[in-house]
Chains A and B, each alone.
Chain A
């Protein structure tokens, strides 16, 4: 009887952790945010979440049927894409749209380009862009006021303290910057005159309060319900080297001073926190999407160059841009430059 010895080239030992486990760990890292979003926005948010994940899985399966590509359901990439898409969406989107976004994003962004590893586009961002272009109305009507333990009268409470006019004016300025990306103004709010951007941002922050970092006080994306719920997961991903820190780090290094310059002095400095408070998806874009390994460069130098490019693109968009589509499109477009960056900035080794 032939001995049962097994064949394979060296090394014959491998580190624990395969592609699937990386995906699932990213899912795990993001799940506190998703759970908080469901808690804050209730049933509709849960439906959006499920619809996105199911849509993404359906896209993966359909892609396999259409192009005969192997389907890697178990590797968690489809679930992760669905989850990421859901985090970029307003909480009360019709589940049908969410499903369509998940499916089309995976089909176009990943399966059409050769499946996991071959794609230049992030499937979740692709799905988001498709929805922004195809269903702007559905998106705009999907913003919800988060539940608060202070009662639903939070807005009324604010009104009683009279920060509302300020909030509103800030809102208008930001809305101009990112038209369409923001929740609509509650009915009956008076339109105010434009104020200085700094004042608006300051006012906005004051209105939201510091606990906005923990629990959403204003309508926003599902993925930005709580900075504190997002940060531990992100830190874990970075320290466990599951995602690379270089791109987010270079964006965060470049973005504030560039905004400062471009937005004319200190105004820029207030934009970042203001944009977070408004739940625009900036934080997700910087931390999660910009560190998606598949659609970002390989080499260290290329990673820094990519981060620099994304940061400058964001500045241009924040200061002069007019459309939220461009916001998501930017990250997608940057992915198309990755092969070129990898080619020109390839590491040549020490020898």
Chain B
């Protein structure tokens, strides 16, 4: 079964008296363990689609299914729990919490909601993730003391805190130089293989697109092309 499935998804934003058709009817499926890039020029609807998959926005028409479950019609509490358990987020501008240090930022999602793991479990897992993204020496530092690449590593570790099956990254490399960008995608790929976590990242950088195995190209809110590269 596909981990993500979009069926005739449309999204319309009101804009003054008119409307913006950001996504105009998109269907695709993503398999578990996929490493997929959603590519397209600015305004093509990448962020909108990722937001709908990540349950922080709802489609105007059509359905989004995660693990076969239709996400529309859930209460905010249920949606939040679903996000918490099932989805991790990585953002273009890192979006770390400035008053928390590296360790605390990564641990943060574990402290939310009910069923908080105990202190020891949290510590073990957080330290493992810090090591996994190579920031062991930086655990006590706050985000403003880190470089862009380091911050995005923290964000990657945080996105994995609750062991989600799916990680969404909206232009994770847009604020990074090309070398760092490739390292970041490389790290994501490593985790994709090690943990079998599904990664969906958007980008408009052609060299980054090529690092994905499964590519969906958007244009004007529609799929322009979709293809897989052989591993």
Same complex: no
Partner-B contacts on A (CB < 8 A)? none
